[in-house]
Structure 1
Amino acid sequence: KNVTAAYRRRLDAVFARRKEYVRASSGSCRFDFSPQLDKSFSRGFTHYFLQGRERGIASFDTPKSLGEEMGTMKEQRGNYLIVAGVKPFHNGDGVCYLDEQGRLQGFRINRVDGNKLYPAGEIPRIRPRTRLYRNFDQEFERILTRKSSERKIGIVWELWDTSFGFALSATDEDDNRVVLSFPYPREMARTPQEENLCTQLSRLGNTPFEVSDSLAGKASGVIIRFSGNWFLPASVIADWRRQVIDKLVVARRVTYRRELAVWKPTGHAFPATALTYLGNVMNDAARSFYLEHGLSSVAPAYEKQAVPDAVLMFCKHCLRYSMGWCPTHQKGHSLYREPYYLVGTDGKRFRLSFDCKNCQMKVYGDEGAFFNEELRMKNEE
């Protein structure tokens, strides 16, 4: 909810100032909360390479979400912590921080009293001036658990009298229009009826519609065109309103144009004669497709058959640059001798190499995996 609401607001802001762009969907959205992206799981924010190369595109401290920065630790007294904060904490919030060894630690707040935090359970030992983050906002999560947003499609009502009764129409923002005629006796009312009729027709409840003033181009999205001050009971208007809305929903389904992508076979040849493991061909159907389009050889994917010295990733992101050791952009020098390796928790080692000419980092396949594959093939022989 939080992320999609943030995107919706950004898109609506674009549509408001750039009239050449239009929405792909009907209706407009309203939210009962202010979306805040730093309250959702993330490892921080970055422009990546959109604005050139920058160092802060990796989260070296922890793979978990720190959340929003709240302030710093001031001092500890008895069973509570005193914080110097820029945002207020709430009862039940989750707090995290990096300890002196750089490990992520955290605790839940039992009670908040001003800038005093009373942790639930054991009191953590946090050195002064440590940055504190909130990775669980109790009040914000409570808002998101209930209905907090809705999308409504704008419509305009028109009600007029006929020779045998009345007619009611509804036109939505996509120009779908439904008109129903209702035989009903015309009786003069003792008091003005227009305001009451507008109120009754605007009560659209749980339907996907709402009355839109902007569509009507007038002060009200309900247009009454009577030749007299006719009286219509609220129950009658409610019944007519329901019938027209039901027909409008059906009309929208009938006129809706679903975009379909139709695949058509082509005789165009593939722009190569051979495909290496980088083609990631894992099954027979994919292999047959490439052979039908002119390839003479198709190698299997790396996961299916290990390849010596295989490059698994070509990365614009460079660990040498992130560490300040890039000889091209930073004129820096590493404290460690190459080659470098990425080592997984399962012990797998992935060698790194740096292609400065093309400004990219390469990640090579697990050396142990290739050794094991060779051993397996020898055993089969």
Structure 2
Amino acid sequence: MSNGLRKIELLAPAKNLECGIAAIYHGADAVYIGAAQFGARQTAGNSTDDIAELTRYAHQFGAAVYVTVNTIVYEKELAALEHLLKQLVEMGVDAILVQDMAVLEIYKKLKAEYMTRGYRMPALHASTQTDNRSADKVKWLKENGFERVVLARELSLEEITDIHKAHPDVELEAFVHGALCVSYSGACYASQYFFNRSANRGECAQFCRMAFDLKDSDGETLIEDSYLLSLKDMCQLDRLGDLLEAGVCSLKIEGRLKDANYVKNVVATYSEALNAYIAKHTGKYCRSSYGRCTYTFTPALEKTFNRGFTHYFFNGRQKDISSFNTPKAMGEYVGYVKEIRRGSFNVAGTAMFANGDGLCFFNRQKKLEGFRVNRVENNRLFPLTMPKNLEPGMALYRNNDIEFERAMQGKTATRKLQVRFVVDVVNGKLTFTATDECGRSANVVLKETPEKAQKSQHDNIVKQLEKLGNTVWTANEISINNSADEFFIPSSRLAAVRRELLEALEDTPVSNHTDKQAVGETATNSINANNTVYADTINIANVANTTAQNYYAAHGVKNAPTAFELNSDYKAGSTTAPSAVPPLMTCRYCLRYALGYCVKNGGKRPTWHEPLHLEAKNGIRVRLAFNCAKCQMEVYAE
């Protein structure tokens, strides 16, 4: 809380240092970034030097940096894990995202060492990879030292509200935007089974974005060559207020594989929406970091990579959450083809086009085709190569807006902290004070006694103090008291005073960092070694080292299953019977429901014979099981 206001955080992804800085500059209150190892996006690793630089940059705005150490860890990697955790503590990151409980155990050991040396320990956040979908799971995580829990993407508003009511002292982080995994996070082993690439090790091969035929037990093809497990992208832009009212404190944007332009546009869009909501609810919320952003472009989500948008399960189970026809980005709808004439066509719609635009459409076979615009004459477009399957009446989508991409190049935003200067005469000495919106203050007292000026120096004092140039500050007020402007102060001296004040502000830590972490520093003291938890609230088959195994055993989880990745029989082509392999995916998404055949929810009674199977052109075949008691779909090896 800050002055009675609840702090709200917009959390952005950082593929690298460039993306992290772009996120902060465009309005993020925090960023999450992966180190060179142990992050759930293996191709988005970063050096500790870059993470340290990002941390320094973020902290000047009171923004936070969270590092993803959220893969499962093998026994031989524990020493490297400990080394990384030491580095993260020493560079002052704000939190560590965790899946493997070996991280927690090593953290506890390091805490005893580093706090005696005066270090501020980062908070512990339970990654969505720990599969956090119940109040019982949140309770177990809280009792084991986690300050924040990243909720499963599949939860509804009602479920989030109930979790917060049950555990109001736990920070809740919820995804609001980006790609959706069809399986519960941490419970997907399809990539490991078929491609020897572990999703729990940051190597997901995107099995769910493959095309499949849907067949019944008689071998009849019900649907052919469709992306039956591919979901649209989440977008909760219009539900931010509901999330805040439900108790969520951190609004998370997905996308650690996305480029800087994606980060800029999405962060700016959500930051403006969040500011607008807070402004309408004065006295209730505030942003968790400082600074005001201005943009050189108009944020627009439809201009950035998306597969179409969905609220997912936020409003309960919905049918239109999947994207059967393509796993790729369609972009924004721009009109339909009106008339085709040899190598050109015109478009019915209000969109403006530019040479180089990328357009796409669904052909008669419902396959996505794309092409590039070579020339534009009003609403008549001349493609580089005329698509042979394009026909009048077909809808057009723009997945590459060349003008928008040009607008996104270079510096597209500024973020400034407001600072107030006071010039005064105290005990006969000229005194300069600077106080910024973060609450930091600096003071300079002139040792020399300046001479009286022939005319007021007010305008020159204001002029010199306002020269803040490329710094992170902008002067919102300059007060000159007790006739301080009657004294002559050379412009060069005023400039030196200004630099001294700003350097002192820069060297002063932003207080909300220390305040926020005070909770994290004491959280693990409340660990109850005798607490118990039902085994089904813990990820199945994700224990990859003896440290984690022993931790679970000591904290109420007996015989936690060994990681799927460590069982050599759990792979395609092994002699192990598929029936002995655990579910490759556990999904709240249900294909039977999506097709309108869930009798439990008012759908038609299926005419096919189950079990249903998915078959890919490369020979991969899986069996679908509909667990109606839990209202979920499970995918099994076949």
TM-score with structure 2 setting the length = 0.52
Asked if residue 76 in structure 1 is aligned to residue 348 in structure 2, the reply is no
Q: Please point out which of 390, 394, 399 is paired with 1:135.
A: 399
Distance 1:355 1:275, change over 3 A: closer
SS in 1 for 2:493: helix
Give 2:278's aligned residue.
Answer: 15
Equivalent residue for 1:90, pick from 354, 362, 371:
354
Once the 2 structures are TM-superposed, how far is the Cα of residue 320 of structure 1 from its aligned partner? 1.3
Deviation per residue, 1:281-302 (Å, 9 max, x gap): 2333222222334555333233
- In structure 1, which of residues 324, 330, 347 is the aligned counterpart of residue 602 of structure 2? 330
Which of the numbers 297, 300, 303 marks the counterpart of 2:562?
300
Is 2:574 the counterpart of 1:283? Answer: no
Aligned mates of 1:50, 1:255 — CA distance in 2: 31
Structure 1 residue 201: Cα displacement: 1.3
Greater alpha carbon shift after TM alignment, 22-31 vs 277-286: 277-286
Residues 307-335 of structure 1: CA deviation (Å, up to 9, x unaligned): 61623333221111111222232331445
- 1:222 paired with 2:485, answer no
Structure 2 unaligned residues grouped into runs of 5+: 1-263, 571-578
Shift of 1:151: 1.6
Instruction: Name the counterpart of 2:266.
Output: 3
In the TM superposition, what is the alpha-carbon distance from 1:117 to its structure 2 partner? Answer: 0.9
C-alpha distance in structure 1 between counterparts of 2:268 and 2:550, whole Å: 44
Q: In structure 1, what is the equivalent of residue 28 of structure 2?
A: none
| Contact 1:274-1:297 at 8 Å conserved across structures | no
1:145 to partner: Cα distance: 1.7
Task: Tell me the percent identity.
Answer: 36
Equivalent residues of 2:450, 2:488 under 8 A apart:
no
SS of the equivalent of 1:118 reads strand
Partner of 2:234: none
Q: Quick one: structure 1 residues 88 and 328, their matched pair in 2 at CA, closer, same or farther if it must change by over 3 Å?
A: same
Residue number in structure 2 paired with 1:179: 443
The letter for the 2-side match of 1:168 is F
- Cα distance in 2 for partners of 1:269, 1:33 equals 52
- CA distance, structure 2, for counterparts of residue 198 and residue 344 of structure 1: 70
More helix by share: 2
2:56 corresponds to: none
Q: Output aligned runs, 1:1-381, within 5 Å.
A: 1-18=264-281, 19-120=283-384, 122-125=385-388, 126-161=390-425, 166-182=430-446, 183-190=448-455, 192-212=456-476, 221-227=477-483, 229-252=486-509, 257=514, 259=517, 261-262=520-521, 263-264=524-525, 266-272=528-534, 278-293=540-555, 295-305=557-567, 306=570, 308=580, 310-334=582-606, 336-344=608-616, 346-364=618-636, 366-367=637-638
SS at match of 1:303: helix
SS of the residue 2:320 aligns to: coil
Q: Contact 2:293–2:413 (CA<8 Å) still a contact in 1?
A: yes
1:235, CA displacement in angstroms?
A: 2.8
Q: Which range moved further: 271-280 or 244-253?
A: 271-280
Point out the more displaced range, 292-301 or 16-25: 292-301
Conserved in 2, the CA contact under 8 Å of 1:274 and 1:295? no
Q: Give the distance between the partners of 1:69 and 1:255, measured in 2 at CA.
A: 43
Cα distance change, pair 299–255 in 1 and its aligned pair in 2 (3 A): closer
Query: Which entry has the higher C-alpha Rg, 1 or 2?
Result: 1
The letter of the residue matching 2:285 is Y
Give the superposition deviation at 1:204: 0.8
The corresponding residue for 1:371 is none
SS state at 2:565 partner: coil
Question: Which region of structure 1 is more displaced relative to structure 2, 74-83 or 126-135?
Answer: 74-83
Q: What letter is aligned with 1:10?
A: A
Count of residues in correspondence between the two structures: 356
Query: What SS class does the counterpart of residue 332 from structure 1 fall into?
Result: coil
Q: Which amino acid aligns with 2:478?
A: V
Write the distance in 1 (CA, Å) between the matches of 2:632 and 2:537. 22
Distance change >3 Å, CA 278–CA 70, structure 1 → 2: same
Conservation of the 8 A alpha-carbon contact between 1:277 and 1:301? no
Give the CA RMSD over aligned residues: 2.6
Structure 1 residues 189, 106: closer, same or farther in 2, change over 3 A?
farther
- Contact 2:450/2:489, CA 8 A, preserved across alignment: no
Check the 8 A contact 2:530/2:554 in 1, yes or no.
Answer: no
Q: 1:23 to 1:194 in 2, by over 3 A?
A: same
How far 1:226 sits from its partner (Å)? Answer: 4.6
Provide the rounded CA distance (Å) in 1 between the counterparts of 2:528 and 2:410: 50
Aligned equivalents of 2:268, 2:537: Cα separation in 1: 43
The residue matched to 1:58 in structure 2 has which SS? Answer: coil
TM-score, structure 1 as length reference: 0.85
Deviation of residue 186 (structure 1)? 2.1
Amino acid at match of 2:265: N
SS in structure 1 at match of 2:517: coil
Letter of the structure 2 residue corresponding to residue 124 of structure 1: P
Structure 1: give runs of 5+ residues left out of the alignment. 213-220, 368-381
Matched residue SS, 1:278: coil
Note closer, same or farther for the CA distance 1:114–1:184 as it changes in structure 2 (3 Å cut).
farther
Shift of 1:253: 5.8
Distance in 1 (alpha carbons) for counterparts of 2:314 and 2:295: 30
